[in-house]
Amino acid sequence: MAILEVQGIEKSFGTCKVLQNIDFSLEKGEVIAIIGSSGSGKTTLLRCLNFLERPDQGRIIVNNEVIFDAADPSTQRESEVRKKRLHFGLVFQSFNLFPQYTVLKNVTLAAELLAKEHPNFKQKKKDILKDIQERGKSLLYQVGLSDKLDYYPHMISGGQQQRVAIARALALEPDILCFDEPTSALDPELTGEVLKVIRNLADRNTTMIIVTHEMDFARDVADRVLFMDDGVIVEQGSPQEVFENPKEERTKQFLMRYKKD
């Protein structure tokens, strides 16, 4: 059973069609890599899933629940959108850590704020906050940053910042973790440590959608690859199919360009 189904998503900015008829589904534990040149709509697609953009058409279904339907305004209420977002985690290209908080606080802040809305938060305040702290520490251990808990974002490298951002996204236990070109803002020598963390997550059967320009990594870590061009999914299939035996001319051209580089 698919954990995520995306049906007929369309999105325009003004007269520019950014996404057209996007259909795909994702199984629990599956990793999808989305590749394609800049401006092909990959990032917009992720932003639609995270409710940062509102699609003009189409439906998004998570765990058999329609969480977005462009034709049904009752699925778009601001108050519910906030909770629905939590199905997804998003790791940004530019990290977007909160500069005034320590590494640990970056990871725990959102969970603490959500816990406060819980009806019996006041009685169990200490235990709940302690659990969140412990969980934050164990996530930072998982991404290899146990020794940086009290550092501020500007004191650590870009690769470390991105690993904090991954831990932060994991803290709310999303069903699906999305990555928007997680290594594009990093020096080449720092991409490896971030990719390693993502690979570890894949090994633990984390459900993920990864927008990336790292072709070797996509081939290596993804169960399925989607190639997008001009706002449409041109081709999808296993990494072997897409990378070694592309059927579409556009996919061939795109992959040729990468081989040359």
Partner 1 sequence: MNEISLIISRLSDSFLLNCKIFVITLLFSLPLGLVITFGSMSRFYPLRWLVRTFVWIIRGTPLMLQLIVIYFGPGLLNLSFSWPGGSSGRFIAANVAFIINYACYFSEIYRGGIESVPAGQYEAGLVLGMTKKQIFFKITLLQVIKRILPPVGNEVITLVKDTALARIIANKEIIMMAGEYSNKGLIWPLFATGIYFLIFVGVLTIIIDWFEKRLSYFRV
Residue tagged 């004191």 (tokens): 155
Among 96, 133, 142, 184, binds partner 1 (CB under 8 A): 96
Distance CA 81, CA 139 (A): 26
Q: How far is the CB of 190 from partner 1 (least distance, A)?
A: 19
Q: How far is the CB of 101 from partner 1 (least distance, A)?
A: 8
162-181 positions binding partner 1, by CB under 8 A: 168-169, 172
Residue 30 and residue 207 in contact, taking contact as beta carbons nearer than 8 Å = yes
Q: Which stretch binds partner 1 (CB under 8 A): 34-42, 92-100, 192-200, 222-230?
A: 92-100
Q: Is the dihedral of CA 223, 35, 96, 53 positive or negative?
A: negative
What is the β-pairing status of strands 208-211 and 31-35? parallel
* 149 vs 172, beta carbon nearer partner 1: 172
* 22 vs 178, beta carbon nearer partner 1: 178
User: CA-based angle 9:13:14, to the nearest 5?
Assistant: 125
* 116 vs 125, beta carbon nearer partner 1: 116
67-86 positions binding partner 1, by CB under 8 A: 82-83, 85-86
Question: Angle, nearest 10°, between helix axes 125-142 and 158-170?
Answer: 140
Q: Tell me, residue by residue from 146 to 165, as one string, x for binding to partner 1 by CB under 8 A and - for no binding.
A: ------xxx-----------
Residue 169 and residue 88 in contact, taking contact as beta carbons nearer than 8 Å = no
Residues 6 or more apart in contact with residue 3 via CB below 8 angstroms: 26, 27, 28, 62, 63, 175, 176, 207
Among 2, 61, 66, 114, binds partner 1 (CB under 8 A): 114
Among 44, 50, 212, 251, binds partner 1 (CB under 8 A): 50
Nearest to 232 by CA among 23, 71, 61: 23
Q: How far is the CB of 221 from partner 1 (least distance, A)?
A: 22
* 168 vs 250, beta carbon nearer partner 1: 168
Chain-centroid distance, C-alpha 194? 14
Q: How far is the CB of 85 from partner 1 (least distance, A)?
A: 6
Q: Which stretch binds partner 1 (CB under 8 A): 30-38, 109-117, 128-136, 197-205?
A: 109-117
Q: How far is the CB of 187 from partner 1 (least distance, A)?
A: 19
Among 6, 90, 197, 211, binds partner 1 (CB under 8 A): 90
Q: Is the dihedral of CA 39, 41, 47, 52 positive or negative?
A: positive
Q: How many residues bind partner 1 (CB under 8 A)?
A: 28
Total count of residues recorded for the chain: 261
Distance CA 250, CA 261 (A): 17
Residue tagged 């991954």 (tokens): 166
* 21 vs 93, beta carbon nearer partner 1: 93
Residues lying near partner 1 in the complex (CB under 8 A) are found at 50-52, 82-83, 85-86, 88-90, 92, 94, 96-101, 109-110, 113-114, 152-154, 168-169, 172
